[in-house]
Structure 1
Amino acid sequence: MGLLAHERYCDEIVSGTDALRAAVRGADLDATVPTCPDWTLRELAVHVGGGHRWAGEIVRTRAREALPDERVPAFTPEGDDPAVLDAWLADGAARTAETLREAGPGLEVWSWYGPDRSAGFWARRMAIETVVHRADASLAAKVAYAASPDLAADTIDEWLEIVACAQADGDPEAAELRGAGRSLHLHATDVPDAEWLIELGEDGFTWRHAHARATVALRGPLTDLMLVFNRRLAPDSDRVELLGDAELLDFWLARSSFG
């Protein structure tokens, strides 16, 4: 487990978008997305594609501050034609991946994540954004979903890093993730060494890859653990096994959903 190569993240933006396009193609674009009920399937797809183009433009222009949407070329597709949407998604992913490849991971640019203001941050963030929202699209379109093990694991790592940063920055929900003596353990049953131990302390929480007894444990296939952790699969699903204090897991999920 650990960070993937920059080129791999760039590749995942394209291949993940291709998979999302396949899920959306032929589906009812006006259908509500169960895991993002404020969005239709079309709106979800536009959110993903717009995010790609926004991140790509930040890197292309070496931006030092957030870009307003209107400064991003073709930020939204023209019209409601599904074929136009499909082509727009493909083009945006390809352009963004190419921009990130040319920039390299170390290029300094603006990001909303203080510990990492680089093109490498955006490559990783867009790859993970795509793999998570692809799950949303697959659920809405009622098609199968799978994620590669290393990217699924990295999705959990990245989210823990973001939540920890938010807690340090004083986010009010993340700030509540504390309390000595409580812990959570995630244990993938299909991938060796894919385990996480999250320990809540008086000053906040810490996490590491470890196998240990915890207040609550969640066991199951790695992709399903990732989906639960991202609030895409209910913790009481029969696809995972929940042991111990279920309320603590609910507490964590409710307070790590900021933004």
Structure 2
Amino acid sequence: MTLLAHERYCDEISHQVDQLRALVTSAADLSATVPTCPDWSLERLVRHMGGALRWAAALVRTRAQEHLPTEQVPLGGGPEAQGDAAALDAWLAETGELVVGALREAGPDAKVWSWTGAATSGFWARRMACEITIHRADAALTVGAPYEVAPDIAADALDEWLQLVEWVQRSGAREWAEKLRGPGRSIHLHATDTAPELNAEWFVELGEDGVGWRRGHEKATVALRGPLTPVLLAFYRRLPLDTPGLEILGEREVLESWLKHTTFG
């Protein structure tokens, strides 16, 4: 598996921040409940995402070698004014400039603490690009706006999610990871609308030894097929499996079990 270029992640963070800002300024109600994160309002979602970006920016800018408490991040919680779309938009704009500037100045190889073994600024560029890609989908679903994402970013977000699940299982960071072990089962994800060179297919094995995965077309216990963006959002539990355009072949309960247990919430 090959990572995208560091500058590609930086560009995507900047693009996604702009897209999220557009949703904020066009939203009729910042207090609307986010359907995919029902404990959050749209404003709470945006403050969470902006806070994560500012935290990552602070880590990278200071070359932190240990965890940085979020309360030490200036304006990490967002603007003081509540329910003010203009203030939230201005805060997001500044946030995007801070994080992208820090990442570009650092380059991909600067040593920076992370909660996985990948302790570099490059880890944070990729993590924040994937994080905002999914949370912008949450915001778009909240306001009923269309959502699309570039194929290379969507495919990389699926790669990263599978890597994070592997890390969780190796590290024992979440109890749910043990529930993914068991007799040989497998999941095949198949994007039907991408160029062959992207190789937008994934084979995920769930065995007694844990989770393993690779890109490619292989017969599995269950397959999820459809356009790449809906496949991405369904695998991140942002769209229901019965979304028009998605197709499930094989033992649906294997996929449902995966979706039930793989969460950082």
TM-score normalized by the length of structure 2: 0.95
Percent of aligned positions that are identical? 57
Greater displacement, 171-180 / 31-40 = 171-180
Report the residue type matching 1:9 in the other structure: Y
SS of residue paired to 1:173: helix
Which residue number corresponds to residue 142 of structure 1?
A: 144
Greater displacement, 28-37 / 164-173 = 164-173
Which residue number corresponds to residue 62 of structure 1?
A: 63
Please point out which of 183, 187, 190 is paired with 1:187: 190
Aligned-residue offset at 1:73: 1.3
SS of residue paired to 2:175: coil
Which residue number corresponds to residue 79 of structure 1?
A: 81
Report the residue type matching 2:259 in the other structure: L
Aligned-residue offset at 1:2: 3.5
- Aligned equivalents of 1:214 and 1:37: distance in 2? 33
Aligned-residue offset at 1:139: 0.3
CA contact (8 A) 2:24 2:85 kept: no
- Aligned equivalents of 2:212 and 2:132: distance in 1? 26
SS of residue paired to 2:26: coil
CA contact (8 A) 1:23 1:141 kept: yes
- Aligned equivalents of 1:222 and 1:77: distance in 2? 35
Give CA deviations for 1:42-72 in whole Å, capped at 9, x if unaligned.
Answer: 0001111111100000111111111112211
CA contact (8 A) 2:190 2:201 kept: yes
Q: Which runs of structure 1 show a deviation greater than 4 angstroms over 4 or more consecutive aligned residues?
A: none
Report the residue type matching 2:66 in the other structure: E
Aligned-residue offset at 1:254: 1.2
- Aligned equivalents of 2:20 and 2:264: distance in 1? 24
Aligned-residue offset at 1:198: 0.5
Give CA deviations for 1:81-139 in whole Å, capped at 9, x if unaligned.
Answer: 2111001001101111010000011011111122x011000000111111100000000
Aligned-residue offset at 1:183: 0.6
- Aligned equivalents of 2:211 and 2:160: distance in 1? 15
Paired residues for 1:1-259 under 5 Å: 2-27=2-27, 28-75=29-76, 76-80=78-82, 81-114=84-117, 116-170=118-172, 171-191=174-194, 192=196, 193-259=199-265
Report the residue type matching 1:244 in the other structure: G
TM-score normalized by the length of structure 1: 0.97
Give the RMSD, CA atoms, in angstroms: 1.1
Count of aligned pairs between the two proteins: 258
Gapped runs of 5+ residues in structure 1?
A: none
CA contact (8 A) 1:197 1:209 kept: yes
Aligned-residue offset at 1:258: 2.9
Give CA deviations for 1:10-49 in whole Å, capped at 9, x if unaligned.
Answer: 1111110100111221311000000010000000011111
- Aligned equivalents of 1:175 and 1:184: distance in 2? 17
- Aligned equivalents of 1:7 and 1:94: distance in 2? 14
